[in-house]
């Protein structure tokens, strides 16, 4: 089968790989219909390199069940599915206490196991997420990032009527705008430096747009909130700059949840750090998208709200490409040669 395999930093190859085969009773082989580029994929491609040289890359996907192991029930060949790409050990203290996202051995396909930038991928039955007829393959390819965002919101105490600021409206931030509304936010502030993404955030439910190139985001937000700040601030840009600025957004006693990964050292000015202490902020980290019972309510909730239309990912999909375009598009992304939000590949389609 054709796949995208990561060999080194900025060394992604479109080549042939073995088709997965059933080995365990609970194995499910899925024909990949759509698979997206995650921000973590870009960082690993750009400067971190593979966990295992030559590993099939990618983990955000949807597809059709192609083959099942002899012990699999409740799923049949031909079913339309998404899947949780995360593996946990089930034995460490975190897993045993019901916090699998904190598993010390957590990993995602595309790292130590073959990923989803391929025609087929294999996962255990426990990872499979059935799709309703109302959720198409493009939408379902974003079940994983949607679940990441839901996991972050579940860390917090957000309640109906809350005001929420989203710092950074890339794909995670755009999903966060929609999840904030699902959790009952009365007003959502979208903050970014990209006018096109801010416009998209508005389309997806943001009430107020803040371009932080015009003035510091906290000064603009304070004006909008009559000097108070918001109940919850979400850091979804994954930037060292925004990872400090976000502390100035919540009101006294408010909350911050970090969903972005800066992959760099963060220097926090005294002004921002003192906001944590003086305003008695609650600061949450959020990692991955799994909870107990595995894989967690994040996954079923994502599929549900995609089915109702309350999570709409279609406006976020900026590129739809054949898998063989992978090496070129990754180069274009890191060289800033294209504007993109979410890129989807279609492994079962050939270039014309």
Question: Residue 34: pLDDT above 90?
Answer: yes
Average pLDDT over every residue of 35-44:
96
Question: Residue 23: pLDDT above 90?
Answer: yes
Whether 294 maps to a domain, the answer reads no
Question: Residue 127: pLDDT above 50?
Answer: yes
Query: Looking at the chain, how many residues does it have?
Result: 352
Is residue 22 located within the same domain as residue 95?
Answer: yes
Tokens of 95: 């897993």
Distance CA 110, CA 160 (A): 38
Q: Are 170 and 197 in contact (CB under 8 A)?
A: yes
CATH of the domain at 177: 3.40.50.720
Distance CA 350, CA 323 (A): 8
Domain range spanning residue 122?
A: 2-142+313-346
Whether 333 maps to a domain, the answer reads yes
Average pLDDT over every residue of 321-342:
97
Q: Are 177 and 259 in contact (CB under 8 A)?
A: no
Q: What is the pLDDT of residue 57?
A: 98
Q: What is the pLDDT of residue 118?
A: 98
Distance CA 286, CA 293 (A): 17
Whether 293 maps to a domain, the answer reads no
Beta strands in 134-228 (DSSP E): 163-167, 187-192, 208-211
Tokens of 45: 């491609």
Tokens of 16: 């042939």
301-317 per-position pLDDT tens digit = 999 999 999 999 999 99
What proportion of the chain, given as a percentage, has pLDDT over 70? 99
Closest CA to 212 of 232, 191, 188: 191
CATH of the domain at 124: 3.90.180.10
Is residue 74 located within the same domain as residue 182?
Answer: no
CA dihedral 119, 121, 125, 129 (to 10 degrees): -60
Q: Is 293 helix (H, G, I), strand (E, B) or coil?
A: coil
- For residue 154, what is the DSSP state? H
Q: What is the pLDDT of residue 350?
A: 67
Distance CA 287, CA 139 (A): 22
Whether 258 maps to a domain, the answer reads yes
Tokens of 168: 């950074």
Is residue 129 located within the same domain as residue 159?
Answer: no
Distance CA 152, CA 276 (A): 19
Average pLDDT over every residue of 147-175:
98
Is residue 10 located within the same domain as residue 70?
Answer: yes
Distance CA 115, CA 75 (A): 21
Whether 295 maps to a domain, the answer reads no
Is residue 64 located within the same domain as residue 92?
Answer: yes
Is residue 127 located within the same domain as residue 200?
Answer: no
Question: Residue 352: pLDDT above 60?
Answer: no
236-263 per-position pLDDT tens digit = 999 999 999 999 999 999 999 999 988 8
Across-strand partners of 68?
28
User: How many distinct structural domains can be found in the chain?
Assistant: 2
Whether 93 maps to a domain, the answer reads yes
Distance CA 131, CA 291 (A): 20
Is residue 271 located within the same domain as residue 164?
Answer: yes
Question: Residue 121: pLDDT above 70?
Answer: yes
Whether 180 maps to a domain, the answer reads yes
Domain's final residue, options 285, 305, 327: 285
Is residue 121 located within the same domain as residue 172?
Answer: no
Conformation bin of residue 229: beta by default, left when phi > 0, alpha when psi is -120 to 50: left
174 to 7, 227, 248, 291, 320: CA distances (angstroms) = 31, 26, 21, 22, 18
- The sign of the torsion formed by the CA atoms of 313, 319, 324, 326 equals negative
Is residue 137 located within the same domain as residue 6?
Answer: yes
Q: b/e map of 114-146 (b: 16 or more CB within 10 Å)?
A: bbbbbbbbbbbbebbbebeeebbbbbbbbbbbb
Query: Which DSSP helix (H) or strand (E) runs through 294?
Result: none
Question: Residue 349: pLDDT above 90?
Answer: no
Question: Residue 351: pLDDT above 80?
Answer: no
Question: Residue 101: pLDDT above 90?
Answer: yes
């Amino acid at each position: 089968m054709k796949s995208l395999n990561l060999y080194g930093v900025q060394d992604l190859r479109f080549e042939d790989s073995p088709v997965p085969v059933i080995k365990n009773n609970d194995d499910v082989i899925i024909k990949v219909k759509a698979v997206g580029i995650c921000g973590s994929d870009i960082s690993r491609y750009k400067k971190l390199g593979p966990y295992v040289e030559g590993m099939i890359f990618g983990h955000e996907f949807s597809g059709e069940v192609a083959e099942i192991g002899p012990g699999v029930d409740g799923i049949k060949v031909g079913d339309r599915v998404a899947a949780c790409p995360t593996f946990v050990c089930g034995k460490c203290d975190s897993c045993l206490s019901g916090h699998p996202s904190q598993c010390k051995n957590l990993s995602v396909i595309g790292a130590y196991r073959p990923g989803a930038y391929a025609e087929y991928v294999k996962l255990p039955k426990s990872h499979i997420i059935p799709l309703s007829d109302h959720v198409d393959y493009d939408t379902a390819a974003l079940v994983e990032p949607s679940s990441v965002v839901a996991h972050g919101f579940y860390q917090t105490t957000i309640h109906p009527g809350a005001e929420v600021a989203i710092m950074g409206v890339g794909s995670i931030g755009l999903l966060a705008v929609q999840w904030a509304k699902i959790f009952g936010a009365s007003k959502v502030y979208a903050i970014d430096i990209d006018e096109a993404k801010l416009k998209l955030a508005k389309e997806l439910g943001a009430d107020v747009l803040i371009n932080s190139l015009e003035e510091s985001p906290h000064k603009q937000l304070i004006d909008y909130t009559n000097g108070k700040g918001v109940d919850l601030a979400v850091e979804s840009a994954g930037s060292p700059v925004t990872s400090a600025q976000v502390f100035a957004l919540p009101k006294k006693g408010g909350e911050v949840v970090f969903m972005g990964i800066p992959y760099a050292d963060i220097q926090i000015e005294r002004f921002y750090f003192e906001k944590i202490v003086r305003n008695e902020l609650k600061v949450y980290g959020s990692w991955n998208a799994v909870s107990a019972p595995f894989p967690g309510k994040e996954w079923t909730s994502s599929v549900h709200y995609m089915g109702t239309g309350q999570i709409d990912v279609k406006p976020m999909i900026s590129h739809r490409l054949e898998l063989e375009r992978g090496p070129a598009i990754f180069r274009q992304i890191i060289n800033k040669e294209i504007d993109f939000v979410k890129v989807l590949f279609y492994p079962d389609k050939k270039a014309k």
